[in-house]
Amino acid sequence: MDSSNLVRIAAVACDDIKAGDIKLLKVDAVSSLADWILITEGLSAVQVRAIVNNVEKTIKEEADLLPLRKEGINEAKWALLDYGDLIINVLQPKERRFYDLESFWSNGIIHQFTDNNLIALKDE
Protein backbone atom coordinates (compact mmCIF):
# COMPACT_ATOMS: atom_id res chain seq x y z
CA MET A 1 0.00 0.00 0.00
CA ASP A 2 1.18 3.50 -0.86
CA SER A 3 2.34 5.51 2.18
CA SER A 4 -0.02 8.43 1.39
CA ASN A 5 -3.02 6.09 1.64
CA LEU A 6 -1.61 4.52 4.80
CA VAL A 7 -1.21 7.89 6.53
CA ARG A 8 -4.81 8.82 5.64
CA ILE A 9 -6.08 5.55 7.10
CA ALA A 10 -4.09 6.18 10.29
CA ALA A 11 -5.28 9.79 10.56
CA VAL A 12 -8.93 8.78 10.19
CA ALA A 13 -8.42 6.05 12.82
CA CYS A 14 -6.97 8.67 15.19
CA ASP A 15 -9.82 11.06 14.48
CA ASP A 16 -12.38 8.32 15.18
CA ILE A 17 -11.13 8.20 18.78
CA LYS A 18 -11.14 12.02 19.07
CA ALA A 19 -7.34 12.39 18.96
CA GLY A 20 -6.31 16.03 19.25
CA ASP A 21 -4.38 18.21 16.81
CA ILE A 22 -3.49 15.59 14.19
CA LYS A 23 -0.42 16.65 12.21
CA LEU A 24 1.01 14.74 9.27
CA LEU A 25 4.58 15.50 8.32
CA LYS A 26 5.83 14.44 4.90
CA VAL A 27 9.53 13.86 5.49
CA ASP A 28 10.57 11.63 2.58
CA ALA A 29 12.57 14.45 0.94
CA VAL A 30 14.53 15.22 4.12
CA SER A 31 14.91 11.83 5.82
CA SER A 32 15.40 8.19 4.98
CA LEU A 33 13.72 7.23 8.26
CA ALA A 34 10.16 7.30 6.87
CA ASP A 35 7.92 8.93 4.27
CA TRP A 36 5.42 10.26 6.82
CA ILE A 37 5.34 11.01 10.53
CA LEU A 38 1.95 11.35 12.20
CA ILE A 39 1.81 13.27 15.48
CA THR A 40 -1.32 13.51 17.59
CA GLU A 41 -2.37 13.57 21.22
CA GLY A 42 -4.64 11.90 23.70
CA LEU A 43 -5.68 13.65 26.91
CA SER A 44 -5.00 10.65 29.16
CA ALA A 45 -3.20 7.31 29.20
CA VAL A 46 -6.53 5.61 28.52
CA GLN A 47 -7.15 7.75 25.42
CA VAL A 48 -3.57 7.31 24.15
CA ARG A 49 -3.98 3.52 24.37
CA ALA A 50 -7.41 3.69 22.71
CA ILE A 51 -6.00 5.73 19.80
CA VAL A 52 -3.06 3.35 19.34
CA ASN A 53 -5.31 0.28 19.51
CA ASN A 54 -7.75 1.74 16.97
CA VAL A 55 -4.96 2.72 14.58
CA GLU A 56 -3.39 -0.72 14.79
CA LYS A 57 -6.76 -2.47 14.32
CA THR A 58 -7.81 -0.23 11.41
CA ILE A 59 -4.51 -0.56 9.53
CA LYS A 60 -4.62 -4.35 10.02
CA GLU A 61 -8.17 -4.48 8.63
CA GLU A 62 -7.72 -2.04 5.74
CA ALA A 63 -4.10 -2.58 4.71
CA ASP A 64 -3.29 -5.98 6.24
CA LEU A 65 -0.22 -4.53 7.96
CA LEU A 66 1.13 -4.90 11.46
CA PRO A 67 3.60 -2.46 13.01
CA LEU A 68 7.27 -3.36 12.77
CA ARG A 69 7.74 -2.01 16.28
CA LYS A 70 5.61 -0.62 19.13
CA GLU A 71 6.92 1.44 22.02
CA GLY A 72 5.52 3.19 25.09
CA ILE A 73 2.02 1.75 25.02
CA ASN A 74 2.01 0.55 28.65
CA GLU A 75 3.07 3.93 30.03
CA ALA A 76 0.96 5.74 27.40
CA LYS A 77 2.63 9.11 27.79
CA TRP A 78 4.28 8.79 24.36
CA ALA A 79 3.28 5.76 22.30
CA LEU A 80 4.84 4.95 18.95
CA LEU A 81 3.83 2.64 16.12
CA ASP A 82 6.43 2.08 13.40
CA TYR A 83 5.12 0.90 10.03
CA GLY A 84 8.35 1.57 8.14
CA ASP A 85 7.15 4.28 5.75
CA LEU A 86 4.89 5.71 8.47
CA ILE A 87 5.76 6.45 12.08
CA ILE A 88 2.84 7.27 14.38
CA ASN A 89 3.41 9.22 17.61
CA VAL A 90 0.57 9.57 20.12
CA LEU A 91 1.51 11.77 23.05
CA GLN A 92 -0.18 13.29 26.05
CA PRO A 93 -0.24 17.13 25.84
CA LYS A 94 2.57 17.72 28.37
CA GLU A 95 4.93 15.34 26.54
CA ARG A 96 3.95 16.78 23.17
CA ARG A 97 4.87 20.29 24.28
CA PHE A 98 8.11 19.11 25.86
CA TYR A 99 9.41 17.07 22.89
CA ASP A 100 7.97 19.40 20.22
CA LEU A 101 8.36 16.92 17.36
CA GLU A 102 6.74 19.31 14.90
CA SER A 103 9.64 21.72 15.32
CA PHE A 104 12.18 18.92 15.05
CA TRP A 105 10.66 17.82 11.72
CA SER A 106 9.78 21.34 10.51
CA ASN A 107 11.95 20.93 7.40
CA GLY A 108 9.34 18.46 6.13
CA ILE A 109 5.96 19.40 4.71
CA ILE A 110 3.48 19.80 7.56
CA HIS A 111 -0.22 19.03 7.03
CA GLN A 112 -3.07 19.53 9.47
CA PHE A 113 -5.74 16.80 9.40
CA THR A 114 -9.29 18.06 9.89
CA ASP A 115 -12.65 16.77 8.73
CA ASN A 116 -10.99 13.82 6.94
CA ASN A 117 -8.88 16.17 4.81
CA LEU A 118 -5.21 17.08 4.69
CA ILE A 119 -4.56 20.81 4.78
CA ALA A 120 -1.03 21.90 3.92
CA LEU A 121 0.36 24.26 6.56
CA LYS A 122 3.62 24.71 4.72
CA ASP A 123 3.95 24.97 0.94
CA GLU A 124 4.79 21.81 -0.93
Domain boundaries, the chain: 3-120
| Cα 69 to Cα 89: distance, rounded to the nearest angstrom | 12
pLDDT in tens, the chain (124 residues): 788 889 999 999 999 999 999 999 999 888 888 999 999 999 999 999 999 999 999 999 999 999 999 999 999 999 999 999 999 999 999 999 999 998 888 888 888 887 666 555 444 4
Predicted pLDDT at 121: 45
How far is 45 from 41, CA to CA, in rounded Å?
10
Fold of 3-120: Beta Polymerase; domain 2 (3.30.460)
Q: 111 in helix, strand or coil?
A: strand
Mode of pairing for the β-strands spanning 109-114 and 117-120:
antiparallel
| Phi, psi of 55, rounded to the nearest 5 degrees | -60, -50
> Could you tell me which residues are beta bridge partners of residue 112?
23, 119
Looking at residue 117, its pLDDT comes to 62
